[in-house]
């Protein structure tokens, strides 16, 4: 059942058509220059590349992106005890906690992802997730998981839009927005760039990227890495005006007795979700692609493909435990 409207197919066709005569079809760039910068924010590598008419405008635009990354980091951080998120985790079990509209709307948005993914995406995973510390090789034992697992339940998050409050309806609940925080920060950054008149840009926060415009007649090319070899690319995808997120079990993890403990948690079991090695989602916004990139880890490639191919404008590539690659119909190589 091929999706006729796949934006990726269109882009792939466009790239192939352009390939033999690249120089001839590449539009001449107007006066200006590419600007690039990297920084370490949100516990990851932030990379910004954009085209700007003047150097001053380009550098100011990158400054604005970095400031926005820092702002979202503070908003969503659970490390900082004074953050709104920490206040929710400390107090929402006892009664409603009032938060800024932006944070409220994000929490509300997370419930949409939970609904769409049959609960694979669940910000209350943190009720168990906080017991893991990948850097120090700490994991909960079965008794600890058992004691906390019933608090993992997105349906027990009570949101009151009129008062902008959040309340936990079960004891021991916690939330963590790390599952789409970077995607959201990337989307916010792209909006900022657009408002400044930037028309060609790429913004990444770790595995979450959003692309604005093209590279003057050519698409941007984004590579998906091999799960076991950071230097090997399994697929190169030409992209324009789209977001792409890759989640992998090789990002934050430790191995013990042949088992990999990594940072995506199955909300049903409290264990690392290992039904795929990596999942890449392509779609209109990075908040969406980041949120949806957990689905296949938790539900497995077949079930995830079924869910994702029903969502408009979403494409996906998964690498299974045995190295098998799965695609949504819009991305699959054409049948010979
Ligand atoms: P990154 O943190 O580098 O963006 P991912 O996009 O793969 O990596 O997201 C992993 C993060 O998602 C975890 O560190 C955690 O904060 C969060 N998370 C883990 N499991 C879930 C889940 N089942 N639902 C929602 N968020 C999750
Ligand atoms: Mg992410």
**Atom number, ligand 1, closest to the C-alpha of residue 247:** 7
- CA of 84 relative to ligand 2 center, distance in Å: 21
Per-residue pLDDT of 147-186, as tens digits, reads 999 999 999 999 999 999 999 999 999 999 999 999 999 9
Per-residue pLDDT of 182-198, as tens digits, reads 999 999 999 999 999 99
User: Residue 317 contacts by C-beta under 8 Å, 6 or more apart in sequence?
Assistant: 224, 235, 279, 280, 325, 326, 327, 328, 331
Q: Is the CB of 178 under 6 A from ligand 1?
A: yes
| Weakly modelled stretches of the chain, pLDDT under 50 | 1-24
Ligand 1, atom 10, residue with closest C-alpha? 179
- CA of 35 relative to ligand 2 center, distance in Å: 24
Q: How many angstroms separate the CA atoms of 198 and 201, rounded?
A: 7
Q: Is the CB of 326 under 6 A from ligand 1?
A: no
Residue-level pLDDT at 76: 87
What is the 3-state secondary structure of the chain?
CCCCCCHHHHHHHHHHHHHHHHHHHCCCCCCCEEEEEEEEECCEEEEEEEEECCHHHHHHHHHHHHHHHHHHHHHHCCCCCCCHHHHHHHHCCCCCEECCHHHHHHHHHHHHHHHHCCCCCCHHHHHHHCCCECCCCECCCHHHHHHHHCCCCHHHEEEECCCCEEEECCCCCCCCCCCCHHHHHHHHHHHHHHHCCCCCEEEEECCEEEEECCCCCCCEEEEEEECCEEEEEEEEEEECCEEEEEEECCCCEEEECCEEEECCECCCCCCECCCCCEEEEEECCHHHHHHHCCHHHHHCHHHHHHHHCCCCCCEEEEECCCCCEEECCCCCCCCC
Q: How many angstroms separate the CA atoms of 25 and 35, rounded?
A: 23
Q: Is the CB of 182 under 6 A from ligand 1?
A: yes
To test the pocket of ligand 1, the residue of 264, 279, 296 to mutate (highest count of ligand atoms within 8 Å of its CB) is 264
**Atom number, ligand 1, closest to the C-alpha of residue 183:** 4
Q: Is the CB of 249 under 6 A from ligand 1?
A: no
Buried b vs exposed e over 300-329: b needs ≥16 C-beta within 10 Å? bbebbbebbbebebbbbbbbbeeeebbbbe
Q: How many angstroms separate the CA atoms of 109 and 214, rounded?
A: 29
Residue-level pLDDT at 82: 81
Going by their DSSP bridges, the two strands 208-212 and 165-168 should be labelled as unpaired
User: Residue 133 contacts by C-beta under 8 Å, 6 or more apart in sequence?
Assistant: none
Residue reference for tokens 């959201």: 184
Q: Is the CB of 263 under 6 A from ligand 1?
A: yes
Residue-level pLDDT at 199: 97
For residue 315, how many C-alpha atoms fall within 13 Å in the half-sphere facing its CB? 24
Q: Is the CB of 164 under 6 A from ligand 1?
A: no
- CA of 30 relative to ligand 1 center, distance in Å: 40
**Atom number, ligand 1, closest to the C-alpha of residue 290:** 6
What residues pack around ion ligand 2 (CB closer than 5 A)?
A: 182, 208, 290
- CA of 115 relative to ligand 2 center, distance in Å: 19
Residue-level pLDDT at 83: 85
Q: How many angstroms separate the CA atoms of 328 and 294, rounded?
A: 15
- Is the distance from CB of 164 to CB of 100 less than 8 angstroms? yes
- CA of 92 relative to ligand 2 center, distance in Å: 25
């Amino acid at each position: 059942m091929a999706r006729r409207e796949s934006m990726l197919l269109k882009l792939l066709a466009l790239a192939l058509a352009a390939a033999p005569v690249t120089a001839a079809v590449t539009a001449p760039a107007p006066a200006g220059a590419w600007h690039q910068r990297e920084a370490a924010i949100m516990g990851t590598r932030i990379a910004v590349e954009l085209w700007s008419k003047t150097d001053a405008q380009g550098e100011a635009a990158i400054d604005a992106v970095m400031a926005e990354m820092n702002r979202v980091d503070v908003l969503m951080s659970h490390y900082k005890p004074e953050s709104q998120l920490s206040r929710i985790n400390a107090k929402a079990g006892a009664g409603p906690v009032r938060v800024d509209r932006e944070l409220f709307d994000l929490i509300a948005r997370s419930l949409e992802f939970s609904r769409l993914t049959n609960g694979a995406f669940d910000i209350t995973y943190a009720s168990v997730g906080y017991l893991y510390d990948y850097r120090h090789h700490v994991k909960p034992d079965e008794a600890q998981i058992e004691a906390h697992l019933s608090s993992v339940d997105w349906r027990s998050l009570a949101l009151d839009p009129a008062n902008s409050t959040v309340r936990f309806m079960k004891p021991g609940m916690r939330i963590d927005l790390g599952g789409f925080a970077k995607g959201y920060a990337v989307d916010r950054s792209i909006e900022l760039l657009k408002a400044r008149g930037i028309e060609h840009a790429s913004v990444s926060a770790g595995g979450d990227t959003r692309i604005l415009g093209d590279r003057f007649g050519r698409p941007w090319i984004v590579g998906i890495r091999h799960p076991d070899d950071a230097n090997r690319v399994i697929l190169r995808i030409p992209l324009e005006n789209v977001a792409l997120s890759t989640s992998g079990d090789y990002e934050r993890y430790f191995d013990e007795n042949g088992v990999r403990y990594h940072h995506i948690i199955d909300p049903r079991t409290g264990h690392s979700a290992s039904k795929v090695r990596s999942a890449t989602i392509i779609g209109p916004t990075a908040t969406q692609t980041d949120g949806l990139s957990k689905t296949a880890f938790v539900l497995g490639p077949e079930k995830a493909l079924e869910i994702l191919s029903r969502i408009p404008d979403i494409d996906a590539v998964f690498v299974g435990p045995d190295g098998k690659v799965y695609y949504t119909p819009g991305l699959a190589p054409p049948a010979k």
